[in-house]
Structure 1
Amino acid sequence: MRRAVFSQLVWIALAGSQAFGQSSPLGTSSTDYHPTMTFDVASIRESKVGNEIVHSTFYPPHTSTFRTQNINLSNLVTLAYGVQYYQLSGNPSWDFETLYTIQAKSDADADAKLAQLSDRNARLEKQHMLQVLLAERFHLQVHWETRQGPTYDLVVSKLGLLKETSDASSQEENNGRTYPPLYQRSSSKAGYELVAHGASMAMLCDVLNGQFGRPVVNQTGLLGKYDFVVPYYGRFDADRRPDDTNPMPTLDHSLEENLGLRVKASRGDIPVVVIDHVDQHPPEN
């Protein structure tokens, strides 16, 4: 069986709803903005790979470029509809056995338009472009459902640890590149850090959705913007081996120790993208 090694190479905060914007049912925006753009050219080829698979994706929201290597259908749908894996249903049996390499782009006018859009609207356009590509080439058909499922509430467990930023526009810069208000960075193989510069609790919950594998609902009542660093290795104690000596805390412990926040198990409505039909072998060009 193939063993996938996933490496997202996307210049955005994090993959998932934070990165691409949560789509409303049927891919429509909850705002007045209605995306219309499409790719002008696209090449789709089935990947010829061995047992070791590296998946890389380059999908910046403010250009029309989309490049991905060794991607499966589930990853494509999550990118196109701005959802997490737990929000997918109806995946075909061949989902993890068939991988694709895709290159797609529009023209200079599209790049100019995307460059002028807000982050949210640019991501909505890029989602729409990928939705249209999947519908035309893979004959993808989906519908949305709302299902009851497990969620987490993010609540305050200890006051005084979170400090509001003194500069709401504060963002870290490195080598001439400005980072988003909240992003994940690697701290070698030992673990990771969530780094915030003027991030809201809504942004944090968007990121935690993907980390914890279920919706995280903001119940903190905190309305400000904050600077913080959350180091972690694994989500919960159950994710770590009994003999693991890594000194980094798990994500749930680190949230409480560093931010005074706790995730509490709950249940709620979850929007789900249901795959009704998709072709395994789309035309290559």
Structure 2
Amino acid sequence: MAEASVRRSLFVVAVLLPAALGVNAQANAPLSQIDATVEVAVVKPHPAAVMHNNFSFQNNRFELEDQPLLKLIAFAYSLNSRQIVGAPGWVEEKHWDMSGTTNLTANATLPQEQQLVRQLLKERFGLQFHREKREMPAYALQVVNGQPRLTAAADPNLQPLEWTQGNGSQRTENYRASTMTDFVLIKQLFMDRPLVDQTGLTGRYDFKLTYTRGDAPDADADTPPPQFTAIKEQLGLKFEPVKASVDAFVIDHVEQPTAN
């Protein structure tokens, strides 16, 4: 059950998640969500010879650099890339730079980032789609022995916030006031198959997950375990390989944008 190896990975988790280590005023706001709108956007092809991954929403500005459309669709609609069907080859192969301004006055929360990317996909790439159920290999997020190791959120009315700290192959993911849906969204962006939530947990939780990326770590007692082991030991959850009926995101129309 290895993590997917994604060429020119779309997201470094620390920049995917809102303001690593920074809890801004908007993220501390109640769950009543401020609608996020792109006001000005510049979209252009990314130079093929240059690799410069960037995914940033700072106050009323955003910078998305070196991003394949396939991964932006996955992020915007909470999908694993294997759920996206009917896409022309350029959606995965061609990378784009997008920048501009929004109506926000603080760093976007994760749902707002998704809302802004969905607007870009619709208005600049003409994305049209429909959903249908298809059975495919997936990972089911399940509770181990009926005993999750999760702490109820100190304030469940806050916006969910996720951020990551890391050094080398070691990583700590932090979740505040987050649901299992939030957790599945983050995890499946980096997995080799879709995730489905079978925990039955409906609350909001504060928790963290510390693990070593890649192969199993050395026997050093201070080295965190691999991710799947860490999820079991630290959260009382597991990813179980299953065949499941999941939403397939079927692309009806998408086009490359005209020059700005």
TM-score by length of 1: 0.65
Distance across 2 between alignment mates of 1:196 and 1:7: 17
The residue number in structure 1 matching 2:155 is 168
1:188 Cα deviation after fit: 0.5
Task: Give the 5 Å matches for 1:44-123.
Answer: 44-50=43-49, 53-59=51-57, 63=60, 65-106=61-102, 110-111=103-104, 120=111, 122=112
3-state secondary structure, aligned to 1:214: coil
3-state secondary structure, aligned to 2:52: strand
Q: Which has the larger radius of gyration?
A: 1
Structure 1 pair 211/276, CA: closer, same or farther in 2 (3 Å)?
A: same
Quick check: 209-218 or 254-263, which moved more? 209-218
Distance across 1 between alignment mates of 2:241 and 2:19: 26
The residue number in structure 2 matching 1:261 is 237
1:119 Cα deviation after fit: 7.0
Distance across 2 between alignment mates of 1:278 and 1:170: 37
Give yes or no for contact 2:76–2:115 (8 Å, CA) kept in 1. Answer: no
Task: Give the 5 Å matches for 1:222-261.
Answer: 222-234=201-213, 240=215, 245=218, 247-261=223-237
The residue number in structure 2 matching 1:219 is 198
1:13 Cα deviation after fit: 8.2
Partner amino acid for 2:63? R
Deviations 1:169-215 (A, max 9, x none): 598xxxxxxxx645241321122122234433343333333343434
Does 1:191 pair with 2:191?
no
Partner amino acid for 2:171? Y
Distance across 2 between alignment mates of 1:233 and 1:266: 24
* 1:12 alignment partner, one of 18, 40, 44: 18
Distance across 2 between alignment mates of 1:187 and 1:155: 26
**What runs of 5+ residues in structure 2 fail to find an aligned partner?**
1-6, 21-32
3-state secondary structure, aligned to 1:253: helix
The residue number in structure 2 matching 1:129 is 119
Distance across 1 between alignment mates of 2:37 and 2:207: 38
Give yes or no for contact 2:79–2:189 (8 Å, CA) kept in 1. Answer: no
* 1:201 alignment partner, one of 180, 186, 206: 180
Partner amino acid for 1:56? N
Partner amino acid for 2:104? D
Distance across 2 between alignment mates of 1:228 and 1:89: 34
Does 1:157 pair with 2:133?
no
Structure 1 pair 144/66, CA: closer, same or farther in 2 (3 Å)?
A: farther
Give yes or no for contact 2:162–2:176 (8 Å, CA) kept in 1. Answer: no
Structure 1 pair 70/161, CA: closer, same or farther in 2 (3 Å)?
A: closer
Partner amino acid for 1:168? D
Structure 1 pair 79/161, CA: closer, same or farther in 2 (3 Å)?
A: closer
1:253 Cα deviation after fit: 0.7
Does 1:146 pair with 2:139?
no
Distance across 2 between alignment mates of 1:11 and 1:150: 27
Distance across 2 between alignment mates of 1:12 and 1:259: 22
Give yes or no for contact 1:39–1:133 (8 Å, CA) kept in 2. Answer: no
1:56 Cα deviation after fit: 1.0
Distance across 1 between alignment mates of 2:72 and 2:198: 31
Give yes or no for contact 1:6–1:54 (8 Å, CA) kept in 2. Answer: no
Work out which structure has the larger RCO, using CA pairs closer than 8 Å and 6 or more positions apart in sequence: 2
Give yes or no for contact 1:38–1:129 (8 Å, CA) kept in 2. Answer: yes
3-state secondary structure, aligned to 2:90: coil
TM-score by length of 2: 0.70
Equivalenced residue count is: 235
The RMSD of aligned alpha carbons is 3.7
Distance across 2 between alignment mates of 1:13 and 1:268: 34
